[in-house]
Amino acid sequence: MAEKLVIVESPAKANTIKKFLGGSTKVVASMGHIRDLPKSKLGVDIEHDFEPEYINIRGKGDLIKSLKKDAKQAKKVYLATDPDREGEAIAWHLATILQDEKDKITRVTFNEITKGAVKKAIKEPRNIDIKLVDAQQARRVLDRIVGYKISPLLWKKVKRGLSAGRVQSVAVKLIVDREEEIEKFIPEEYWNIYADLEEPESKKEFEARFFGKDNKKLELHTKEEVDKILEEIKKAKYIVKEIKKGEKKRNPAPPFTTSTMQQEASRKLGFTLKKTMSVAQTLYEGVKVQDKGTVGLITYMRTDSTRISEEARAAIKEQIINSYGEEFYENRYYKAKKDSQDAHEAIRPTYADLKPEKIKDSLTKDQYKLYKLIYNRFMASQMTAAIYNTISATIDANGYTFKANGQTIKFKGFMTIYVEGTDSEEKEEEGMLPELKENQVVDLKKINPKQSFTEPPARYTEASLVKALEEKGIGRPSTYSPTITTILERRYIEKEQKQLVPTELGKIVNKLLTENFKDIINVEFTAKIENEFDEIADGKEEWKQMIREFYGPFEKELEKVEKELEHVELVDEVSDVKCEKCGRMMVYKYGRFGKFLACPGYPECKNTKAIVETIEVPCPKCKGTIQVRKTKRGRKYYICENNPKSCDYISWNKPKPGEEWNPEETNDIKKETTKTKKKKTTKKTSKKRNTKK
């Protein structure tokens, strides 16, 4: 009989903790939630003050019996689920299931799974924080009401099986709005003039860019404007009028929060949000490391805080000084963002001495990549700034002003190990200008006028969408990944390379929701709701009162929309393709795998056709037509119309004119597109069959 019983969510976490607590403690896993709202109905009793109707999750009966038995035999029960609202709610549900042993039950939390942190938590148990539980219940109940009340409208008007979600619908709206911006965008012409100049003594060349006239900025929009300037500077002397030398500092980024980790893992490692969180979970819960046993390698990965404990500061200081020297260390504190919940630390390594290279052999390839990213970001956050030497020169050409800039790194500081990524493709200017003197004449080698056009805003990537959601106050660290995963799985959006693009289905659903539920499917309302959840967690608001205030106006809006849409039918778009079976003009429909053609005479005529999407660029191999297709997972790829008959071209990337093809992609794509046949197995029996003679 175990003296202590510790209940956590996952077996991996249980295995790590077991090693810290000795033989008299039993550690078991609840395998996530054990109670939830039923899937078959609303599960919220609106008539009785929105009381949630929780049920035991199907398939967990044996586990619940086992937990009850273990709790009965233990002298003390510790609920050690994750240190956030979701974890607090799981602990509360466990306490409800183990009600008969309530006098033994207590709650413990730790931000990192290390021996010290776990033992300290066991010594400092507390009661379940009902405020955090209520904040999670408010989110669950409100989202259930919105989803279960609005989704049937989508079934009637668009397609059965669709669903609406409060946060997901706003994320889809952001993506659709961005796509509309891109479609409506009208490019504007602008020009730059570049002068290739040479310093006469050293013969070193450098580039200067047109700035304006008489040192006042001037924008160029037409070729006529450019031609006039080119004519006036054709025989001009290029005289250096002013030189400014200086220093520029660049400070490191703070240690990771959930969103910044997801953004950097997407930019630098090519990880999806789902993959990032899955790999981070394994690093947090415990990895078997040589000479250390199973240890949690990072702190809790769902956080929006940049705070660092003093112990962690001291440990990383020692590593920086030992590895790089005193001049590379700086004790830095980072200001918390508005609305951030400072319950946890930033994401950091739990053991500063476990450098990524040291434990590489104990980690999978993906674990190593993410651990190295987290470790280096944390170390860089406590290092000195990088210092650049900068120089700028102002050059006159017959009254017109050109400017040249250069910089070189003087002291790398934190950039020795880490530089934060960006979503844009712009690169820092590098290189120093030659040694120039004021009033010096430099030689013109070449003038390069360049026509350009303004570009539309970029489509969202997973990384930039997370950034936008966070900036607008939509969702919290635990919601970013499931939100984007859900709208991808529902096929409201799809990925083209890394870009998120709305599907036709996504556009239709977004139009119906935003036109009819303007007060709910918008950024401001969703951000306001998030703040109310925070108020509940802080004990400043009662969760059922929040739901009451929401439900009254929502119910009226729902009734109004249902009446307005009662006689409205969404008309299918008619194509120019005739049904070869009955002669009707086929219409566009939207199915599980996207858009297709269907006969409007259904059910008399059940004819359907796939829509073959093509691109204008010919096949790089045989000049045939390139078709756009999708894998079973919804990922786009490009294939020659003659594949596999006479051409084997197939690629993940959209071909460009004159671009060479990499045939190594072929097998990778075929794995995702080929259906694997299940082998039929027959049981062998030693018994002889009886046959009638």
Residues with catalytic annotation? 300
CA dihedral (111, 115, 119, 121) in degrees, to 10, reads: 0
Q: Are 238 and 424 in contact (CB under 8 A)?
A: no
Q: What does the alpha-carbon distance between residue 268 and residue 370 come to, in Å, rounded to a whole number?
A: 10
Q: What does the alpha-carbon distance between residue 100 and residue 68 come to, in Å, rounded to a whole number?
A: 9
- Three-class DSSP labels, 507-561: HHHHHHHHHHCCCCCCHHHHHHHHHHHHHHHCCCCCHHHHHHHHHHHHHHHHHHH
Q: Are strands 493-496 and 594-598 parallel, antiparallel or unpaired?
A: unpaired
Q: Are 386 and 249 in contact (CB under 8 A)?
A: yes
Can you tell me whether residue 60 is helix, strand or coil? coil
Q: What does the alpha-carbon distance between residue 394 and residue 384 come to, in Å, rounded to a whole number?
A: 32
Q: Are 26 and 33 in contact (CB under 8 A)?
A: no
Q: Are 283 and 367 in contact (CB under 8 A)?
A: yes
Q: Among candidates 527, 506, 617, 425, which has minimal Cα distance to 166?
A: 527
DSSP 303: -
Q: What does the alpha-carbon distance between residue 397 and residue 195 come to, in Å, rounded to a whole number?
A: 10
Q: Are 144 and 163 in contact (CB under 8 A)?
A: no
Cα–Cα–Cα angle for 105, 109, 115, nearest 5°? Answer: 110
Structure tokens at 432: 């120093």
Neighbours of 632 (CB within 10 A): 10
CA 393 to chain centre: 42
Question: In one letter, which amino acid is 648?
Answer: D
Q: What does the alpha-carbon distance between residue 20 and residue 26 come to, in Å, rounded to a whole number?
A: 11
HSE of 572, CA atoms in CB hemisphere, 13 A = 18
Q: What does the alpha-carbon distance between residue 174 and residue 53 come to, in Å, rounded to a whole number?
A: 33
